Chain A
Amino acid sequence: MLDRAGTSAKDDTTRRVRFRGAGFVPASSRFGGWIALALVIAIWQAAGSAGLVNPLFLPAPAAIARAIYQLAMSGALWQHLSASLLRIGVGWVLGTAAGVAVGFAIGLSRLARSVGITFISALFPIPKIALLPLLILWLGIGEEPKIATIALGVFFSTAISVYSGVDAVPRNLIRMAQSFNVPFATIVRKVIWPGALPAILAGFRITASVALLLVVSAEMIGAQYGIGAFVLQAGNLMQTDQLLAGVVILSVFGLVVGKVIGWLETRLLHWR
C-alpha cells in the first residue's frame, strides 16, 4: 500500500471494505408519519386532560372532534362548507379556464407573449385580496366579488404555469412534427398539450391552495356563511373548539384536493 511503503512486515490478513454509502436517500418509512401524528395528538390530549393547557387557548383534540360532530349534526357544517365549496369551485374553474387559454396564447404567439407577459408581470405580484373592495364596488356585495377574487388569484398562477409548461416542451419534438409536415393544430394537440401537461398539473396544486387561501380571506372580510366566516365568528365569540374545528376542516379539504391531483397525475402522466 502506498502510505505504508516504508514498513517491512508483510500483512496477509484480509479485511472487509467498510460500507460507507448509507443515507442521503430521499425515502420515508411507511408508517412513520402516521405514528408521529398519533403521538402528537396523544400528547396534546393528555396535556389537555391533565389540565396543563387552558382549553380556551388550546382545546384538546377530543373537544375539537366533538365540535366537528356537533357541527355536522346541526347541519351548520354543510351550510358553511357548501358556501365555500361553491365559491372555490366556480372561481377556480373560471380562473383556470382563462389561465389555460391565456397561457397557451402566450406560449404559442409572439404578440401574445410580449403583451401578456408585461401585464402578468405587473399584476401578478398584487395580493388579490387587496382587490376585493374594488371588486365589491364593481360587482356588488353578493357572491360575485368573492368568486372574482378567487378567479383572479387562480388565473395568474395558471397562466404562468401553462406558458412555462409550453416553453418547456422539448423543441426537438416540435421540429420532428414539423419535419413530417404535421399541421399547427395537430402539433398543439398532440405534442404541446401532452408535453405541457405535467407543468399544468403542478400548477393546479398551487392554484388549489391559492383558491383556499383567498376563499377564507374573502369570507373573513364579508360573508354570512363559509368556513372563513365561521372561523372568524368562532374567534370573536372565543369558541376556540369551534374555531379549530373549522381549521381542521380546511386542512382535510386541502389534503383531499391534493390527493385528487395526485390521482390525476398518476392517471394522465403514467408515461413518465
Chain B
Amino acid sequence: MDLIANHISHRFGDLAVLDDVSFTVGAGEVVAIVGPSGCGKSTLLSILGGLLQPTSGAPELRGAPPADSLNPLTFVFQDFALLPWATVEENVEFPLLHTQLSAAQRRALVDDALRRTGLTDFRTTYPKQLSGGMRQRVGISRALAVKPAILLMDEPLSALDSQTRELLMEDFVRLLADGGMGAVYVTHNLEEAARLADRIVVLSRRPGRIREVVTVPMTRTERGEIAAREKLLALQNQIWSLIRNEAIDAEREVQHA
C-alpha cells in the first residue's frame, strides 16, 4: 500500500501553511519530513493521516493494505497521547476495543505489542508512573497492536532527553528493519532523519513547499556502523545547508497570535 500526498495545500485563515506538496511513500518505505520550524510538517502529517481537511489537494492510498492490518495509517504522537486513567495494557488495548476481535484475540495482540516494546513487566502500571521514554514506548506499542502498514510519527522523540532519544531510535531501527512497515517521520532533528529514513523530504519555510528530496544511500543497518558516521554527517550538513538560512528567518519571525 502506497501513501500519496497529491498536491496538498493548506491555509489557516489567511495564513498559508502548505503549498502544493506532492510525494509518495512506497510500501515499507520510511520517509522523513524536515524543514524549519513552522513550515507545516505536523500539519502535513495530520492531513496525510486524515485528521485535518486540506484546503486543496488530498491524501490518497494506492493498493490494498495488508490483510491483517486493523488501522493501516497509525499515528505515534509527540506528546504520547496516553489515557492517564488507563494502565499500560489498557492503553494498548484501547484501539482494539471497538473492533470485532474476541477478548482472546485482543489479548494476543496486546501481549505481542507489549513484548516487542519491552513493556511486558509494566502492563499494570499507570502512565504517570513511567518515564517519558517508557511512555512513548507505550504509544509505539499501541500503534503496533493495530498492525499498521504505515506509521505516521509526529516528532516522536522531541519530548525526550537525548539519552532516551538514542535508546528509542535504536528501537525504531529494529522495528523498521524488516521493511514490513513503512513510516512518515516528521522531525526537526536531522540526525534522526538521516538515521531512519530511506528518503528525506526537505520543506521550505512557511508556506511549506518541497525544496528537495534526498535519498539516503545506505541501509539502516549499515548506518549503525562507525564507518557510516562520516557519510551521515555529510548528509546532515547537506540538508542543514538547505534549510539554515530559512531556519534563521523562521526563528526571527514574530508569531501570529
Contact = CB atoms under 8 A, between A and B. Distances in A.
B85 A271 contact: yes
Interface in A184-205: 186, 190-191, 194-195
Interface residues of A, number: 20
Contacts of A271: 84-86, 126, 128
Given A180-B146, A183-B98, A172 B81 contact: yes
B51 A181 contact: no
Given A175-B51, A179-B49, A272 B146 contact: no
A183 B100 CA distance: 13
Interface stretch (B70-78, B185-193, B201-209, B224-232): B70-78
Q: Is the interface of A mostly helix, strand, loop or mixed?
A: helix
Contacts of B95: 177, 180, 182
Contacts of A194: 83, 85
A176 B126 contact: no
A178 interface: yes
A173 B81 contact: yes
Contacts of B84: 271-272
Interface in B122-143: 126, 128
B74 A180 contact: yes
Contacts of B81: 170, 172-173, 175-176
B20 interface: no
Interface in A158-173: 170, 172-173
Contacts of B51: 175, 178-179
Nearest to A193: B85
B97 A190 contact: yes
Contact of A179 (B75, B85, B98): B75
Interface in B57-71: 71
B252 to A, nearest CB: 29
16 contacts: A172-B77, A172-B81, A177-B94, A177-B95, A178-B51, A179-B50, A179-B73, A180-B94, A180-B146, A181-B71, A182-B97, A182-B98, A269-B85, A271-B85, A271-B128, A272-B128
Given A170-B81, A176-B77, A271-B85, 6 more contacts: A177-B95, A178-B51, A179-B49, A179-B73, A180-B146, A195-B85
